[in-house]
Amino acid sequence: MELKEAGICEGISEVIVTTRSWAGEPNAAPIGIITILNEDENENKHFVKLYEGTKTLSNVMETNKLAANVSDDAVLFVKAAFGNLNEAHLSLFSGFPVLNGAKSWILFKSAFIEKNGESGNFLFQLTPIAVKINQNEVKAINRGLNAVIEAAIIATRYAITKDKREKEDMEKIMKLYADIVEKCGGRREKEALKILHEHRERKRSPEGL
């Protein structure tokens, strides 16, 4: 099944992945879908790396499914990164949560391949089983949007990293991305950056510890 029209291309496509537990509890998180061209078969193969201890991994292990929701809404990416998307943001397709307002979504069946002991991630191969394209549009690249997404991804890793030096490096990188957002971003990107900062400040406060 060709997914280029749905926005999933070669390389890593940053999307909002929605999953559900066996009991039906939904979850959303920003995650990269890895697409590699298999030259022997002349078709794309899709993979995802999920980290130990995350709700996304737990849900995928229980249901063997995930949905990749293609969006360019910076606020949704940041809210998903910190678990602030609720059921009002979601609708159901055959009982599986997908993101309202997504430009497209792809429901994948997942198959576990291996665990990387050093990085603590689990590799899955993905097979598309349903696709819905909601919007087709041409839009120029905005560096502010890209910077917000990168900052949100680093912020989620910052929360689980215990190495002090690595945290310091991440803070410097996030500061660089914040500067790009302020320079290049629109109102939606700047609102997303504000939410990201507010979340990190709450984590630093005594109430958030």
| Segment 65-92, tens digit of pLDDT | 999 999 999 999 999 988 878 889 999 9
Q: What architecture does CATH give domain 143-208?
A: Up-down Bundle (1.20)
| Inter-residue contact 107 to 56 (CB < 8 Å) | no
Q: What architecture does CATH give domain 4-133?
A: Roll (2.30)
Q: Quick one: CA dihedral 78, 81, 86, 92, positive or negative? A: positive
Tokens found for residue 108: 């994948």
What is the reported pLDDT for 197?
Answer: 87
Alpha-carbon gap, residue 60 to 132, rounded angstroms: 21
Average pLDDT over residues 122-148: 88
Q: How confident is the model at residue 172 (pLDDT cuts 50, 70, 90)?
A: very high
pTM over 0.85: no
Average pLDDT over residues 82-108: 93
Map residue 177 onto helix, strand or coil. Answer: helix
Q: Where are the domains of the chain?
A: 4-133, 143-208
Average pLDDT over residues 113-142: 87
Residue where the block lists tokens 């990201």: 196
| Segment 110-122, tens digit of pLDDT | 999 999 877 779 9
